[in-house]
Amino acid sequence: MEKIETTILRNLLFNNEYCRKVLPFIKTEYFENLHEKVVFEEICKFIVAYEELATKEVLLIETEKRTDITEDTYKTICDYVSKLDDGHADLEWVTDTTEKWCRDRAIYLALMESIKIADGQDEKKNRDAIPSILQEALAVGFDNNVGHDYLNDFEKRYDFYHKKQEKIPFDLDYFNKITKGGIPNKTLNIALAGTGVGKSLFMCHVAASVLLQGKNVLYITLEMSEEKIAERIDANLLNINIKDIETLPKIMFESKVNAIAKKTQGTLIIKEYPTASAHSGHFRALLNELQLKKSFRPDIIFIDYLNICASSRYKGNLSVNSYSYIKSIAEELRGLAVEMNVPIFSATQTTRSGSTNSDPDLTDTSESFGLPATADLMFALISTEELEGLGQIMVKQLKNRYNDPTTNKRFVVGIDRSKMRLYDVEQSAQSDILDSGKDEEYNDEERKPKKSFEGFKF
């Protein structure tokens, strides 16, 4: 019976379509025997150099030139290559079989490497690397998608247009309006606000609402402790003034938490990192660890907040300007969102002038304009004495890839800071906002839009 390795090498020699599909995914280390490794290496070298299939003659000539094999190995290779023939094999079967072989070999090699690390025989890696090594091996597979063919793939495109996109809805009506029903996966969403306005309050409220939807939530904090974030979410979910939580009897506290647990199938994990010490690489490792140890995979991730994260590209932030550094963090977090297929919510500070501005825009983003360039959704949270007196906070859209940002550009939501909660206000509260989504009316001659060439003399 022919070995799978021989079937693979034979088809790499004679089957052009098979070769194009599988060659990018096969690694030299997957082969056990030296003569098979050498044959595979020479096949790869020739295809890369000449963009066509190798032949038996090519393999023998190129192998003879090698100085890293013995005479006996060369004779074994000659005998092995001579027996490779153009036997027919079903393309789908041999492709699927090759994919399974690659995955099995990757898992086996990962286990051997993990044992070596566990025994302390690897000086470069410690035991913390084992979960990611096994995770990568389990993820081995063939991805034959090389792009969207505009003319031939029109059916896929049509189906995509009519497919309902998976989104995580808000419990706030106007946020659902501006996002067309919620936040989609693979996106980075940013709240812009000054100190004390309510960045963390907003994210804690949304995290609590998503938990009640039965979703899994990961809240990463680099500013406050895990307990402080949990306290804010307690105030929101348990409907208790945050000042009264510490005086609440344990029996009553336990009863309220159990009541929340009965309402949802979701899980909320809060993880604290020291300020400016963690980057997307740490978050990725955390996600892998949660998957392995708790079988927990988040449906949404909150990072509180972006500006105090680190960058995996720029170590130490010693030789890079703030524009590049913050833009790098934003790009890394959005890349993580795409990789993990989840939406990420974070926040950023306004500039010094923006903190006192009742009408901030994108230029009021602190440290880097590269952040709004990367974000999918960005909005400002605005608080004034008048709004505080009304128990409201204003939201202004700054950038929106989900909907027209000029519709409902500004709107207000109710805010209860004592319970760390946001809520919808009556529609009448939106009526006095200049650009709340209604067409502006022109009641006098001065405010009427002028005709194209009015005022010009010829």
Place of tokens 């009506």: 173
Same-domain status, 133 and 192: no
Same-domain status, 87 and 11: yes
In-domain check, residue 144: no
Same-domain status, 117 and 215: no
In-domain check, residue 380: yes
CA 105/CA 99 separation, integer angstroms:
10
Same-domain status, 310 and 180: yes
Dihedral pair phi/psi, residue 350, rounded to 5°: -80, 165
Q: What does DSSP assign to residue 268?
A: E
Q: Are strands 217-221 and 300-304 parallel, antiparallel or unpaired?
A: parallel
Place of tokens 């995996």: 312
Q: Residue 98: its pLDDT value, please?
A: 94
Q: Would the pTM count as exceeding 0.95? A: no
**CA-wise closest residue to 135 among 308, 290, 299, 314:** 290
Same-domain status, 134 and 189: no
Residue ranges of the chain whose pLDDT lies below 70: 1, 143-146, 316-318, 352-357, 367, 434-458
Place of tokens 């708790």: 294
Same-domain status, 305 and 217: yes
In-domain check, residue 187: yes
Q: What does DSSP assign to residue 192?
A: E
> What secondary structure does DSSP assign to 276-312, as a single string?
T---HHHHHHHHHHHHHHH----SEEEEE-GGGS--S
Q: Residue 356: its pLDDT value, please?
A: 62
CA 12/CA 54 separation, integer angstroms:
8
What the block records as the tokens of 458 is: 């010829």
In-domain check, residue 176: yes
CA 152 to chain centre: 29
CA 412/CA 392 separation, integer angstroms:
6
Q: What does DSSP assign to residue 243?
A: G
Same-domain status, 187 and 122: no
In b/e form, how buried is each residue of 77-111, taking b as 16+ CB within 10 angstroms? beebbeebeeeebeeeebbeebbebbbebbeeebe
- Ramachandran assignment for 250, one of left (phi > 0), alpha (psi -120 to 50 degrees), beta (any other): alpha
In-domain check, residue 435: no
- Per the CB < 8 A criterion, the answer to whether 367 and 192 are in contact is no
We report the CATH number of the domain holding residue 286 as 3.40.50.300
Q: Residue 448: its pLDDT value, please?
A: 47
We report the CATH number of the domain holding residue 99 as 1.10.860.10
Structural domain for 187, as ranges = 167-430
What the block records as the tokens of 92 is: 């789908």
Q: What does DSSP assign to residue 83?
A: T
In-domain check, residue 153: no
Same-domain status, 123 and 209: no
CA 339/CA 287 separation, integer angstroms:
11
Same-domain status, 133 and 171: no
CA 394/CA 414 separation, integer angstroms:
9
CA 212/CA 69 separation, integer angstroms:
64
Same-domain status, 259 and 404: yes
Chain segment 221-273, per-residue pLDDT in tens: 999 999 999 999 999 999 999 999 999 999 999 999 999 999 999 999 999 99
CA 425/CA 412 separation, integer angstroms:
7
Same-domain status, 343 and 257: yes
> What secondary structure does DSSP assign to 189-241, as a single string?
EEEEE-TTSSHHHHHHHHHHHHHHTT--EEEEESSS-HHHHHHHHHHHHHT--
In-domain check, residue 46: yes
Same-domain status, 224 and 346: yes
What are the distances in angstroms from CA 101 to CA 17, 105, 106, 135?
A: 19, 6, 8, 17
Q: Residue 435: its pLDDT value, please?
A: 58
CA 338/CA 2 separation, integer angstroms:
42
In-domain check, residue 455: no
**CA-wise closest residue to 370 among 421, 427, 332:** 332
The total number of structural domains that make up the chain: 2
